[in-house]
Amino acid sequence: MSTPTFADKLGTAFAEHGHLCVGIDPHEYLLAEWGLPVSAVGAHEFGLRVVEASAGRVGIVKPQVAFYERFGSTGYRVLEDVLKEARDAGLVVIADVKRGDLGSTIEAYGQAWLTPGAPLEADAMTISAFQGFGALRTPLDLAGRYGKGLFVLAATSNPEALAVQTAVIQRETQRGKSVAGGLASRVVNWNRTHAEGPIGSIGVVLGATVDFTDFGIDLAELASAPAAPILAPGFGYQGAQFADVKRLFGVAAATTIVTASRSILAAGPDGLGDAIARQAELLGEAIA
């Protein structure tokens, strides 16, 4: 019996629990509102409570690693617990680490987050290709070897991104495309040569608050089999609404992971489970 790939796990999560991904983001103000200390101890308790409330209600969670990293080695130690508890609960875990580099360094990042049995093992990680898509060769190979996933930053929701991510590529196979569009096309091409099912294990990050036409993103290309999954931040607190998912992502909505964090986490520890269930239901109605 073959080990399920990240694409397999993602397809199962969509089918059984829908497209909502709950962010595990222990902001300082949220820790205070939850009555938890602003420390690794507080972030630990926060993460475990989000995992407990998410299990059985959604299929995907996305810990924002920066909120643990700020507490140093103890922060990483408690993050290991949160990651393990989430995976043991049957949740698909996307580590939001946004790592980017080249050579042996990017290989080490991939080993840290994608290797089975590693202390920080996740099912997928977010990754930056500023040094070029080709620089991702080793984490791409690791993802394929271990059945893991990658989400390559393509069109992010911050306004400062527009100048860089819409710049036109001047060389090689993606010449004439925007940086964002070229990266998306490279992801599509990778899945076409490596994926075996209807969904690929390599996806892109597309912020829900941006106009994809400005970034040169071809949603139909991303949706063509094997579809490149989309990790879509920007819903809830950042302004995008679940009702707009189909309008925003069109034919690619069926393989879009809709992430929300603060808009859910603000419900507090006592209201968290109900908030997750309610948001999952609303998204399910919008994306049906």
- Give me the active site residues, please: 98
> Six-digit token pair at 108?
């080490």
Main-chain dihedrals φ then ψ at residue 231, nearest 5 degrees? -100, 115
Nearest Cα residue to 255 out of 4, 6, 3, 39: 6
d(CA 264, CA 38) in angstroms, rounded, equals: 19
Check if the beta carbon of residue 272 is closer than 8 Å to that of residue 48.
no
Q: Which residues contact 23 (CB under 8 A, 6 or more apart)?
A: 61, 62, 63, 64, 96, 233, 259, 260, 261, 262, 264, 265
Task: Read off the amino acid at residue 133.
Answer: F
d(CA 58, CA 84) in angstroms, rounded, equals: 17
Nearest Cα residue to 229 out of 83, 1, 42, 62: 62
3-state percent breakdown (helix, strand, coil) of the chain, nearest 5: 50, 15, 30
